[in-house]
Amino acid sequence: MFEYTGVDGIMIGRGTFGNPWIFERIIHFLQTGEKLPIISNQEKLRIIRKHIELELQEKDEIIAIREMRKHIAWYTKNMQNASEFRNEVNKIENKDELIQKVEKFFI
């Protein structure tokens, strides 16, 4: 769009949901013209663990875990068996159980 229309900027919006590395990927592409490799499941797992940790620092465990459910749904969008996994995750209200379920899915 930069070349085709001459725009000065772009808006990403919902593209960030479950995809926090989108900024790095866009910047890399704009600077080099090369696409970065697809994010590995190990990297997604690392980000989800960190996200859970940050949520728990800011909120009560039950609230944090309930909020993480939607984020985990975004992180797993279009992954194999994600629908079944999300159904199971949406019933969890315990940090340890959530982490265990996420690790089992990604490893």
Measure the CA–CA gap between 63 and 68, rounded to whole angstroms: 9
Q: What is the pLDDT of residue 82?
A: 95
Residue ranges, CATH 1.10.1200, the chain: 41-106
Structure tokens at 62: 């039950």
Q: According to the model, what pLDDT value does residue 9 have?
A: 84
- Res 2: pLDDT: 79
- In this prediction, the residues of the chain whose per-residue pLDDT falls under 70 are none
- The pLDDT value given to residue 3: 84
41-106 CATH, one of 1.10.8, 1.10.1200, 1.10.1060, 2.60.40: 1.10.1200
Q: What share of the chain is helix, strand, coil (3-state, %, to 5)?
A: 65, 0, 35
